[in-house]
Structure 1
Amino acid sequence: MIDYEKSLNPAQLEAVTTTRGPVLVIAGAGSGKTRTIVYRLAYLVEQGVPPESILLLTFTRKAASQMLRRAGELLNREMGMVSGGTFHGFSYMILKKFAPALGFPQGFSVMDAADAEELFKGVRNELKVGQGDKSFPRNRTILSYLSKARNKEVSLQSIIESEAAHLHDYLEDFKKLEEAYLLEKQKQALLDFDDLLFFLERLLTDNPEVLEYVRSVYGYVMVDEYQDTNLVQARLARLIASDQGNIMVVGDDAQSIYGFRGADVGNILDFPGTFPGARVIKLEQNYRSTQPVLSLTNCILSSMGQKYEKNLFSTRTDGARPELITPSSDMAQAGAVLSRVEELSSRYPLHDIAVLFRAAYHAYPLEVELNKASIGYQKFGGMKFSEAAHIKDVLSLMRMVQDPPEILAWKRGLGLLKGVGPKTAQRLYQAYCTSLTSGDGSELKKFETKNEQFAGLMELLRRQKNLPASPSSFLTEVLDFYRPFLEEKHMEDLPRRLSGLEQLEQITSAYNHLEAFLADMVLENSDPVGMQAREDALVLSTIHSAKGLEWSAVLLIDLVEERFPSRRAMQDPDDMDEEQRLLYVACTRARDYLGLFVPQSIYQRSTGFNQRVWPSPFVREIDTSLYSKVKEQAGIFSGEKKNPQGDGPLPGEVSPRSSRRSQTSAVPAGGYCRHKVFGRGKVVQALPPNKYKVNFPGVGLKTISGDYLNFEE
């Protein structure tokens, strides 16, 4: 027999042993939610409940299988008779059994994402919608908007207006495609991923005998991550369990952060009203973080609007207060974060340190600094900066001016032009190389007369060759040339890509020499993007991708208005609530150290200057006694352009060190240096103007900017 009282705290024990009627378990971050579900599964079986009458609904099959495995280990028996899986998997199983009742006498087939896209492609080709219009969104993009509208149960028009206003002119085409797609699915007896949920609801609502059968089979229902359910999933849970059935849902309203995917926090907030007499149990003891971290997260919770009151506490009462760091700008922030990472790496391995951000592009300046310092990292939730197609396009155009000419840059740059395929690009590249050695540019001029875009590109390159501009000025010209290609290739997500180009402009402004800029951008971290954590690699992650994970040290960047919360969220109260929950999720990932970075200015492409910004309203609401302000050496990051109107520090705030000693003197090979992360190493080769190959014992050969090395005299 399992000793439940010894294995569980009082609140967990109550949740495990309350098996009759509706139960809502509010599981605060790090409070042992999974452990509670596992022990409840075991308790039900020990109490004589047949495993086959238990339905466990989770958001991944992996989560369900792990819970069932752990429960089986507790009981020393198999739990295979329990129905455990996702809402979609359960729906498929029931629909298959009762397909004729849905009008599918011969059954139906379920399409995966690739199948759905292929079917949609056929419908679009038949209707000839968007043909010849290179700005027309891809099939996958249109399907994503259709899915989002369906899961949120709002009109397609409202989705387009709120999330893709630049595509409004295509709305009628989208509606026409949607109608044809639905008819084609029906004709071929096909269901897509979203259909599974809505068809099950229809089956149970329209067929009382099927509903009665399902209720008689599954006498005990458990739903994990209930705060992430959408409207139809909540209705399904109520249908299956009935208002007074034995249903336990587990979740945390303060961690409901997937509204953009259709999740509705109202499901968990309204549970007691939906299930009269529901018992509400709160898990508030945290097993992850120190109390100083939890005290700050409790303060974030206290200022939220509609919520379940809870107060996270821990037996780990020691530990330092979280830090609030206010760099002079978002570029200076990258240097300040790197300094913190270097300091923290003496206490924790790099893979136990995470830098979190609201949007993937916010990390771009930091990625450049990490590459220069040769610190390995993995990025979750978005591409690495230089891997994004539009960034690679622009960098290729800039690299086309280099000598000797780079064939890969020329092929990619010329590949943007109309009428230039791979073979023509190869021929033009060879003609350009010939013109440099022999002075014969006749073939190039001949093609210029036939291709206006090529002529414009060659003129741009000649100007840079003859009158070299600063990297920033050259980039401005390249972006003017590239903008029409960007709008043609990436119209469906144009705003996001423009934000990335703004970040590139900001990074470029810190350089005086084109060669140094391009070298730093090419010196990309070689680690592949993936969700498998790698030893000794710093973690960079969006907060959404970090949910459910934890690290000893967490650094949270860009806590300013219009970045966190986002500009769009600041116009909508519901979105603001979700942004605040997102901050709570981010802070509760930290076990020991929590650093909050609030830059005082942000680079604005429209003005070319750093514009003063205000701290996030969520940060302003935090009691100042709950964090430490860290005073560091003030400074402006190299290359920053301050607003001539004057954007001084915010009252009471200081700028941390954000620039490093320039290493201009030549360091001979054979000398020694020290790196904060890699330790003492031997200089193998100097790479002007300011890079060095260094051999670190136990680490190997690294190419590192001199800014991050201390050389021995």
Structure 2
Amino acid sequence: MPVASVRPRGHTCGQPARPSPATWQHGRVTAATHSPLFPRVPDSADAVLEGLDPEQREVATALHGPVCVLAGAGTGKTRAITHRIAYGVRAGILQPSSVLAVTFTHRAAGEMRGRLRQLGATGVQARTFHSAALRQLQYFWPKAVGGPLPRLVDRKIQLVADAAAACRVRLDRGELRDVTAEIEWSKVTQTVPADYPPAVAKAAREAPRDPAEIAQLYAAYEDLKRERGVIDFEDVLLLTVAVLQDRQDIAEQVRAQYQHFVVDEYQDVSPLQQRLLELWLGDRENLCVVGDASQTIYSFTGATPDHLLDFRIKHPGATVVKLVRDYRSTPQVVRLANGLLAQARGRAADHRLELVSQRGPGPEPVFTEYPDEPAEAEGAARRIGELIGAGVRPSE
């Protein structure tokens, strides 16, 4: 399949990704006077709201009940949700220790914690799903199961290789990666080895090898883990779900600790992560989710935007806010992106966001078509080399 690559014609110099910090004045963004390297901690709850655009401010002040934030690329979603948490804490509406903010990477969680500190909201837990689950599992395992928590496996792919050897199946490195990915997909979709072949058929998923053979390797992998007394990252979520489902007393203890939840990149939540979130919540609705169905990138691992798209069905009274002011890209790039997304089909396409650039004009993009992904990578690298050779700073 041909691969399209879009790049700006020429380059822009010294333009920030988006105003930071910034002040919203008369419908336009202007730079704040204090240094972004040493930001001033807001001296009040109302000061936390300064610098937010109208939609971001709406997110920040929506502190009760279910909230769904549909945020396009470059629209300041992290800014909106961190200011929401900080405003709630500074206003005395949210207790810092009762808030759990969940995102998908350690880097994103670290950035969120840093921003909350800058806003004077210390004590809020910002973690990945796995990190939050592992912390709970380590604490409750002695009470729920007894003994120490099994060790996390260091190299999953090596364990898959050992399972293949036990099954007398030869796999090269690429095949090992493929089979490992299928095992991960099975676990996050809560599919056991025996159910893998029908599950693959039902999901119309293209298996890298015969599904019956992958099911055999998956079963051998699970047997090896038990023999060696180890667990993998997917087990962390599965075991936490099992403990919360089976031990009502532990579930109630977790729910007493965490009263308010924020989930970033909600379009990439897997069925297993969604189940864990539901167990954390119980029958409460103090949940804020943020996402964009057009930005789903982990569907190959079992993630689905359906949870985001169905949020308003599951929570009929939810507050819904759309962030469409794009501070990252020029009007030329945003116009092209909007046009590209308009060609998409499917359920997610029906809920696409029409972005509006907040930056000044820039060069017109150039559209280049390549026969495959390696050719695209080579072409992009070659063009980058040309730009650097012409004097463009690599940071641009």
Structure 2 counterpart of 1:3, one-letter code: A
Amino acid at match of 2:111: Q
AA in 2 matched with 1:90: A
| Counterpart position of 1:566 | none
What CA RMSD, in Å, does the superposition of the two structures yield over aligned residues? 3.3
Gaps of 5+ in 2: 1-43
In the TM superposition, 1:603-622 aligns within 5 A as: none
Report the residue type matching 1:142 in the other structure. Answer: V
Q: Which residue of 2 aligns with 1:151?
A: 188
1:365 Cα deviation after fit: 5.8
Please name the residue that 1:82 is paired with: 124
Task: State the TM-score, normalizing by the size of structure 2.
Answer: 0.75
One-letter amino acid of the structure 2 residue matched with residue 98 of structure 1:
F
CA distance in 1, matches of 2:171, 2:157: 18
Is residue 2:215 matched to residue 1:175? yes
Change (3 A) 1:320 1:366: closer
Deviation at 1:156, TM superposition (A): 3.6
Alignment partner, residue 57 of structure 1: 102
Judge conservation of contact 1:26–1:251 (CA < 8 Å) in 2. yes
2:181 maps to a residue whose letter is S
For the residue of structure 2 that corresponds to 1:96, the secondary structure is: helix
- Look up the match of 1:3: 47
Show the counterpart of 2:29: none
* Contact 2:101-2:126 within 8 A present in 1 as well: yes
Instruction: State the Cα distance separating 1:139 from its structure 2 match.
Output: 4.5
The alignment status of 1:214 with 2:254, answered yes or no, reads yes
> Alpha-carbon deviation of 1:63?
1.6
Choose the corresponding residue for 2:356, options 305, 308, 313. Answer: 313
- Which residue of 2 is the match for residue 24 of structure 1? 68
In structure 2, the residue matched to 1:38 is: 82
Q: CA deviation at 1:33?
A: 0.9
| In 1: Cα distance, 2:47 partner to 2:388 partner | 47
2:377 aligned residue (355, 363, 367): 363
Question: Residue type matched to 1:55 in 2?
Answer: L
Kindly state the Cα deviation for residue 87 of structure 1 after the two structures are TM-superposed.
0.3
Q: Which aligned pairs between 1:97-136 and structure 2 lie closer than 5 A?
A: 97-100=139-142, 104-114=145-155, 116-125=156-165, 127=166, 129-130=168-169, 133=170
In 2, Cα distance between equivalents of 1:99 and 1:230: 24
Deviations 1:654-686 (A, max 9, x none): xxxxxxxxxxxxxxxxxxxxxxxxxxxxxxxxx
Q: In the comparison of the two structures, how many residue pairs are matched?
A: 341
The aligned counterpart of 1:249 is 289
Shift in CA distance, 144/320, structure 1 to aligned 2, threshold 3 Å: closer
**Structure 2 match to 1:95:** 137
Determine if the alignment matches structure 1 residue 184 to structure 2 residue 224: yes
Task: Note closer, same or farther for the CA distance 1:86–1:370 as it changes in structure 2 (3 Å cut).
Answer: closer
CA offset at residue 375 of structure 1?
6.4
Alignment of 1:526-545 (within 5 A): 536-537=393-394
Change (3 A) 1:124 1:287: closer
**Code of the aligned partner of 1:96:** Q
Who is 2:306 aligned against? 266
- Name the amino acid aligned to 1:258: Y
Whether the 8 Å contact between 1:197 and 1:233 is mirrored in structure 2 is: yes
TM-score in terms of structure 1 length: 0.43
Give the deviation of 1:298 after TM superposition: 2.5
Deviation digits for residues 600-627 of structure 1 (CA, Å, limit 9, x no counterpart):
xxxxxxxxxxxxxxxxxxxxxxxxxxxx
Query: Structure 2: which amino acid aligns with 1:109?
Result: P
8 Å CA contact 2:104, 2:129 repeated in 1:
yes
Native 8 Å contact 2:48 2:119 kept in 1: no
Pairwise CA distance, 1:308? 2.7
| Amino acid paired to 1:88 | H
Question: Relative to 1, partners in 2 of residues 1:200 and 1:293: Cα closer, same or farther, differing over 3 Å?
Answer: same
Residues 212-239 of structure 1 deviation map (CA, whole Å, 9 limit, x = unaligned): 2111110111111111111111222222
Alpha-carbon distance, 1:243 to partner: 4.8
Match for residue 296 of structure 1? Answer: 336
Q: Cα deviations across residues 163-185 of structure 1 (Å, max 9, x unaligned)?
A: 455x32xx444333322332332
Higher Rg of the two aligned structures: 1
CA distance in 1, matches of 2:284, 2:142: 30
Percentage of pairs with the same residue: 31
Question: Offset of 1:209 from its aligned partner?
Answer: 1.8
Asked if residue 282 in structure 1 is aligned to residue 326 in structure 2, the reply is no
Return the letter of the residue paired with 2:152.
M
- Distance in structure 2 (CA, Å) of the matches to 1:139 and 1:311: 41
DSSP-derived class of the 1:7 partner: coil
Structure 2 contact 153–231 (Cα < 8 Å) conserved? no
Report 1:451-490 matches (<5 A).
none
Distance between the aligned counterparts of 2:341 and 2:315, measured in 1? 25
How do 1:633-712 and structure 2 match up within 5 A?
none
1:53 maps to amino acid: S
- Matched to 2:168, the amino acid is V
8 Å CA contact 1:95, 1:200 repeated in 2: yes
Deviation, structure 1 residue 38: 1.8
Alignment correspondent of 1:12: 56
For the residue of structure 2 that corresponds to 1:105, the secondary structure is coil
Partner of 2:19: none
Spell out, residue by residue over 1:94-129, the C-alpha distance to the aligned partner (whole angstroms, 9 max, x if none): 112221465x42122242441x3444444444x351
What's the counterpart of residue 34 of structure 2? none
Match of 2:28 in 1: none
